[in-house]
Amino acid sequence: MAEEKKQPRIGVFVCHCGTNIAGTIDVESVKDYAATLPNVIVADDYQYMCSTPGQAKIIDAIKDHDLTGIVVAACTPRLHEPTFRTATKEGGLNPFRFEMANIRDQNSWVHMHDPEGATAKAKDAIRIAAAKASLLEDLYPKSVPVEHAAMVVGAGVGGIQAALDLANAGIKTYLVEKNPTVGGRMSQLDKTFPTLDCSQCILTPKMVDVGRHPNIELHTYTEVESVDGYIGNFDITLRKKARGVMSQDEATAKGIVGGGCNGCGDCAAACPVIKPNPFEFGMAPRKAIYIFHPQVVPLVYTIDFDACVKCGLCVEACGEKKAIDLEMTDTFETVKVGTVILSTGYDMFEIEKKREWGYKQFDNVITSLEFERLICASGPTGGHLIRPSDGETPMKVAFVLCAGSRDNTGVGKPYCSRFCCMYSLKHAHQIMEKIPGCQPYIFYMDIRSFGKMYEEFYYRIQNEGAKFIRGRVANVLEDAKTKNLHVYAEDTLLGRPVDLEVDMVVLAAAVQPTENIDPVRKMFGVSCSQDGWMLEAHPKLNPCGTTTAGVFLAGVCQGPKDIPDTVAQAEGAASAASIPIHTGKVELEPYFAQCLEEKCAGCGMCISQCPYSALDLIEKDGKQVMHVTEAKCKGCGTCGGFCPGGAIYMQHFTTPQIVAQIDAFLLGGEQ
Amino acid sequence: MAEGEWQPKIIAIICNWCSYAGADLAGSARTQYPPDIRAIRVMCTGRVDPLFIMKAFADGADGVLVSGCHFGDCHYIAGNFKCAKRMFLLKSVLKDLGIDDHRLRMTFVSASEGAKWAMVMEDVVKTVKELGPSPINQLKQ
Ligand SMILES: Cc1cc2nc3c(=O)[nH]c(=O)nc-3n(C[C@H](O)[C@H](O)[C@H](O)COP(=O)(O)OP(=O)(O)OC[C@H]3O[C@@H](n4cnc5c(N)ncnc54)[C@H](O)[C@@H]3O)c2cc1C
Ligand code: SF4
Ligand code: SF4
């Protein structure tokens, strides 16, 4: 805090960023101006300040001019503050004596047509930054130990991969899944493009692995209830939803020797309640006590208590195993982890909102996920593609691509859902293979086959005889008698209207973030993009990270991507999440609050402001003063913005520093 | 000062996680807006002491903008909400002092709203230009 200070000696470095800055801003005059500012000892400019020679300028200047503070006017601190802090440190100064003026992202780029205005703004920005730099102090990050455990939320293929990687790296991993089984969407798929290997065949071994890995603690039918703490030390409370059925482990823990669910299914056979099975999109029945499909992990039945009539027949059928408890209630468990990976995947867009394509109005209009279930050998029809209206085999099938994607009408989604082109090609292949003579028609806007072996797959399907019609489908109407469908479109290549009669229409509906994801996202402090996908820390340089230290992203929750990309990102996220754990400690930025006890009136008003309960009143020298628990403080400064007496000292964002910035802008400060 | 020459002095105090990131995004998207605003970065709008704003007006600011995350999206749970309450109170104080409270503005711009940031910039500059120089500056002259 208030140490003996020498007169500040500031060095200012103005970056050209090639022509990114210098093409708009008159760097030369900005540099000359900077040299006239109070406390500025040296001002320089360079093509690329972030390059090695650019950084060397800082390092040398600190030594040559005995500087006490550094200002770099360049891009945004969100990109290069760490770079320049390191250079500052290498020059022998405390890294927190560095301040950045953003003259690119928030200046030259947004005022490209106003060089004069941009140059004036750059001068002001440097004056403001130099004023702050004159008041910066040595700060020391606090180092906190990291719990040797991680959590993965969501157990689709992304979450499964991330959990396996972490576990194989020797890290205790909690894998949390809201459904009764792991597997996510991939377990609903039949085959996967472009290799056409069976989805369950490649997924099931991984599902089994997470079920029995000694380092993975699997929590299915479980949701995150609350999150406390910070990187290295997250305290996460899980809500284990009442399943109504005990696993063998749970039964053993309760002293029921040899008991617990062994997956025999006697209960379901006895259960009188029949409901549509959501896993099969209602195309197959399920009992009130159920499993999604035979490969579920863990193999434990679950009671749908909304459907259950509590007749007790299942309990009777279960007998000595005593697995079923109709009075079971939700339980809570708090675990401590160092880092977290979110992998909550996606839902399908409610395509019935696009009335023009007739989903839910006409029987033979289905979605592509329903198609996956219908064509799948373990699906409701045993792999026979049939028309829902009459059970007949369709011979002409239209695939409507970009159904709700790339749609700027406000009803659909503006983005590309990325995997629909490819899976629709796959679907076309599947019907031609399974039903000789069956003709697929693919209505497309563009075919985006951007992956490895994808373009080749596209040509293959073309050669196999799929017909491609370029143009978005305008309308689908039903022939009430035959239940056939008329697809109306414009063939934009031939410039001709199209009216095609088909037996079945498959809508490649857009995807969207998982329903009810907002509370989860917010608990972890992760922002979302305009479309609701979770926001990565940087789209190019940090695609797995988030702005919350220690929280990472994997899979479609971050944006639409197919299985290879999901798995690749999951491996990246697992690697990123394991680094702090293996390092054993992390450094937290020292932006925490302190109490200036001589100014503190002991009123305690700030206590209510702190979201992390980091403040308490304590007695010191016969006087009540505020005390900050540094381990709890996250440095938001809300207490400091509130304290009527100015008694809170917000490190790196002190009141004198902020006021100096305001004064520097408004009152000038040239010498 | 001659008519038409006057350039407003507007200061913005913006939070690191949402509005600062949104302003950067406007940059990456090269969305153009007027250059009249100077930004100061804080970690959270919760840090904004009404004193800073009073100081800015006393120094001759023609307008002050405070911008943070949307409600419910605050990186520190509710700092933006607490700031908004303070700004609300401060507006009535400003009115009492004879400063049009439209000179103080609070907005909510998320990290993905580069376009919105540019709109806010346009709008704040327009509003302040319409209001003219701050009465404090006029008194000083
Ligand atoms: C019709 C169709 C066909 C496809 N075909 C292919 C193909 O052939 N090849 C290919 O590469 N890709 C294909 N895909 C894409 C593929 O489905 C995805 O790439 C993949 O499933 C993404 O996995 P994920 O783990 O990110 O998400 P998901 O599979 O959605 O998994 C997310 C998991 O998180 C769980 N979850 C969500 N919220 C919470 C929460 N709050 N708490 C706990 N758990 C939560 C969910 O229950 C789910 O289990 C297809 C997609 C569709 C729609
Ligand atoms: S108690 Fe519920 S789950 Fe069990 S058989 Fe009856 S309805 Fe089915
Ligand atoms: S800065 Fe103040 S309000 Fe914010 S977390 Fe720290 S003590 Fe709490």
pLDDT in tens, A92-144: 999 999 999 999 999 999 999 999 999 999 999 999 999 999 999 999 998 99
DSSP 8-state symbol, B63? E
| Alpha-carbon distances of A416 from A344, A406, A637, B27, rounded to whole Å | 19, 5, 40, 23
Other CB atoms within 10 Å distance of the CB of residue A518: 14
Domain boundaries, chain A: 10-141, 142-241+330-345+514-581, 242-329, 349-512, 593-650
Does residue A5 surpass a pLDDT of 70?
Answer: no
Per-residue pLDDT reduced to its tens digit, B26-42? 999 999 999 999 999 99
Sign of CA dihedral B3, B4, B7, B8: positive
Residue A636 has what pLDDT?
Answer: 94
Residue A299 Cβ inside 6 Å of ligand 2? The answer reads no
Per-residue pLDDT reduced to its tens digit, A202-238? 999 999 999 999 999 999 999 999 998 889 999 999 9
Q: What is the ipTM of this complex?
A: 0.96
Taking CA–CA distances from A119, the nearest residue in chain B reads: B35
A183 CA closest ligand 1 atom index: 49
- Nearest ligand for residue A245 CA: 2
Looking only at the bridges linking them, the beta strands covering A142-145 and A233-240 are unpaired
Does residue A446 surpass a pLDDT of 80?
Answer: yes
Test A665 with B73 for CB contact under 8 angstroms: no
Rounded to a whole number of angstroms, the distance from the CA of B104 to the nearest CA of chain A is 15
Sign of CA dihedral A540, A541, A544, A548: negative
Q: Determine the number of helices (DSSP H) and then strands (DSSP E) in chain B.
A: 5, 4
* Interface check A118 vs B, CB under 8 A: yes
Confidence class for position A384, pLDDT limits 50, 70, 90: very high
The alpha carbon of A288 and the centre of ligand 2 are apart by a number of angstroms equal to 6
Test A535 with B49 for CB contact under 8 angstroms: no
Query: Tokens at residue B96, please?
Result: 């009492």
Query: Tokens at residue A60, please?
Result: 């040398």
Does residue B1 surpass a pLDDT of 60?
Answer: no
Test B35 with A118 for CB contact under 8 angstroms: yes
Looking only at the bridges linking them, the beta strands covering B63-68 and B10-15 are parallel
Does residue A187 surpass a pLDDT of 70?
Answer: yes
CA separation for the pair A660, A323 (Å, rounded): 69
Is A271 in a helix, a strand, or coil? Answer: coil
Which residues numbered 530-569 in A keep a CB inside 8 Å of some CB on B?
530, 535, 547-548
CA separation for the pair A10, A34 (Å, rounded): 10
**Which residue lies with its CA nearest to atom 4 of ligand 2?**
A314
Query: Tokens at residue B5, please?
Result: 């020459």
Calculated CA dihedral for residues A530, A531, A532, A538, nearest 10 degrees: -60
Mean pLDDT of chain A: 95
Per-residue pLDDT reduced to its tens digit, A557-579? 999 999 999 999 999 999 999 99
Of the partner residues B11, B47, B113, the one whose CB lies closest to the CB of residue A636: B47
Give residue A270's region: left, alpha or beta (phi > 0; psi -120 to 50).
alpha
Identity of the amino acid at A413: K
- Nearest ligand for residue A243 CA: 2
Taking CA–CA distances from B79, the nearest residue in chain A reads: A638
**What are the E-state strand segments in A434-484?**
439-444, 467-470, 473-478
Domain boundaries, chain B: 10-136
Sign of CA dihedral A111, A112, A117, A118: positive
Residue A635 Cβ inside 6 Å of ligand 3? The answer reads yes
In the block, residue with structure tokens 């450094």: A587
Beta-sheet strand order (sheet of B63-68): B37-42, B10-15, B63-68, B104-108
Sign of CA dihedral B104, B58, B37, B51: negative
Q: Measured between beta carbons, which residues in chain B are less than 8 angstroms from residue A528? A: 112
Closest CA relative to residue B35, chosen from A20, A27, A34, A122: A122
Q: List phi, psi (to 5°) of A155.
A: -120, 50
Q: Which helix (H) or strand (E) holds A462?
A: helix A454-464
Closest CA relative to residue A69, chosen from A41, A28, A90: A41
Segment A531-553 shows an average pLDDT of: 91
Per-residue pLDDT reduced to its tens digit, B63-87? 999 999 999 888 888 899 999 999 9
A142-241+330-345+514-581 against A349-512: fold identical? yes
Segment A493-511 shows an average pLDDT of: 97
Confidence class for position A4, pLDDT limits 50, 70, 90: low
Q: List phi, psi (to 5°) of A235.
A: -105, 110
Test B112 with A661 for CB contact under 8 angstroms: no
**Which residue lies with its CA nearest to atom 6 of ligand 3?**
A633
Cβ within 8 Å of residue B138, ≥6 positions away: none
Contact call for residues A286 and A307 (beta carbons, < 8 A): no
Sign of CA dihedral A146, A227, A536, A562: positive
CA separation for the pair A73, A476 (Å, rounded): 58
Q: Measured between beta carbons, which residues in chain B are less than 8 angstroms from residue A658? A: 13, 40, 42, 47, 49, 52
Sign of CA dihedral B68, B72, B77, B83: positive
- Degrees (nearest 5) of the Cα angle A93, A97, A101? 130
Q: Measured between beta carbons, which residues in chain B are less than 8 angstroms from residue A520? A: none
* Interface check A123 vs B, CB under 8 A: no
| Alpha-carbon distances of A236 from A134, A152, A233, A528, rounded to whole Å | 42, 12, 9, 21
Closest CA relative to residue A549, chosen from B16, B82, B48: B16
Of the partner residues B9, B35, B47, the one whose CB lies closest to the CB of residue A638: B47
Residue B77 has what pLDDT?
Answer: 84
DSSP 8-state symbol, A288? S
Contact call for residues A380 and A374 (beta carbons, < 8 A): yes
Which residues numbered 593-622 in A keep a CB inside 8 Å of some CB on B?
609, 611-612
Test A527 with B48 for CB contact under 8 angstroms: no
- Degrees (nearest 5) of the Cα angle B141, A127, A652? 115
The alpha carbon of A159 and the centre of ligand 1 are apart by a number of angstroms equal to 10
* Interface check B89 vs A, CB under 8 A: no
Q: Indicate the length of chain B as a whole number.
A: 141
Of the partner residues B11, B33, B79, the one whose CB lies closest to the CB of residue A638: B79
DSSP 8-state symbol, A245? B
Test B47 with A667 for CB contact under 8 angstroms: no
User: How crowded is the C-beta side of B87, counted as CA atoms within 13 Å?
Assistant: 23
CA separation for the pair A346, A156 (Å, rounded): 10
CA separation for the pair A248, A245 (Å, rounded): 10
Confidence class for position A372, pLDDT limits 50, 70, 90: very high
Q: Which helix (H) or strand (E) holds A657?
A: helix A655-667
- Degrees (nearest 5) of the Cα angle B106, A648, B82? 30
Is B64 in a helix, a strand, or coil? Answer: strand
- Degrees (nearest 5) of the Cα angle A223, A228, A229? 135
Contact call for residues A124 and A37 (beta carbons, < 8 A): no
**Beta partners for residue A112, in sequence order:** none
CATH number of B10-136: 3.40.50
Looking only at the bridges linking them, the beta strands covering B37-42 and B63-68 are unpaired
* Interface check A488 vs B, CB under 8 A: no
Residue A479 has what pLDDT?
Answer: 97
Share in percent of chain B as helix, strand, coil (round to 5) = 50, 20, 35
Per-residue pLDDT reduced to its tens digit, B104-138? 999 999 998 999 999 999 999 999 999 999 998 87
Residue A471 has what pLDDT?
Answer: 94
Q: Measured between beta carbons, which residues in chain B are less than 8 angstroms from residue A599? A: none
Of the partner residues B21, B28, B55, the one whose CB lies closest to the CB of residue A659: B55
Is A46 in a helix, a strand, or coil? Answer: strand
* Interface check A522 vs B, CB under 8 A: yes
- Nearest ligand for residue A399 CA: 1
Per-residue pLDDT reduced to its tens digit, A46-90? 999 999 999 999 999 999 999 999 999 999 999 999 999 999 999
Contact call for residues A631 and A586 (beta carbons, < 8 A): no
Residue A671 has what pLDDT?
Answer: 42
Rounded to a whole number of angstroms, the distance from the CA of B60 to the nearest CA of chain A is 6
Test A527 with B56 for CB contact under 8 angstroms: no
Q: Measured between beta carbons, which residues in chain A are less than 8 angstroms from residue B34? A: 111, 114, 117
Rounded to a whole number of angstroms, the distance from the CA of B109 to the nearest CA of chain A is 11
DSSP 8-state symbol, B97? T
Confidence class for position A240, pLDDT limits 50, 70, 90: very high
Residue A314 Cβ inside 6 Å of ligand 2? The answer reads yes
Sign of CA dihedral A111, A114, A118, A120: negative
**Which residue lies with its CA nearest to atom 5 of ligand 1?**
A423
Test A109 with B30 for CB contact under 8 angstroms: yes
The alpha carbon of A22 and the centre of ligand 1 are apart by a number of angstroms equal to 46
Other CB atoms within 10 Å distance of the CB of residue A212: 10
Confidence class for position A1, pLDDT limits 50, 70, 90: very low
A349-512: CATH class: alpha beta
Segment A617-636 shows an average pLDDT of: 91
User: Any residues with Cβ below 6 Å from ligand 1, and which?
Assistant: A 153-159, 176-179, 184-186, 189, 192-193, 223, 343-346, 368-369, 372, 419, 423, 426, 514, 520, 555-556, 561-564, 566
| Alpha-carbon distances of A506 from A296, A358, A362, A443, rounded to whole Å | 28, 11, 12, 10
Taking CA–CA distances from A612, the nearest residue in chain B reads: B76
Residue A475 has what pLDDT?
Answer: 96
**Which residue lies with its CA nearest to atom 49 of ligand 1?**
A184
In chain A, % of residues over pLDDT 90:
91
* Interface check B81 vs A, CB under 8 A: no
CATH among 3.40.50.1000, 3.40.1670.10, 3.50.50.60, 3.40.50.720 for A142-241+330-345+514-581: 3.50.50.60
Does residue A158 surpass a pLDDT of 90?
Answer: yes
Ligand 1 pocket mutation pick from A152, A344, A424 by most atoms within 8 angstroms of CB: A344
CATH number 3.30.70.20 given to A593-650? yes
CATH number of A10-141: 3.40.50
Question: What is this structure's pTM?
Answer: 0.86
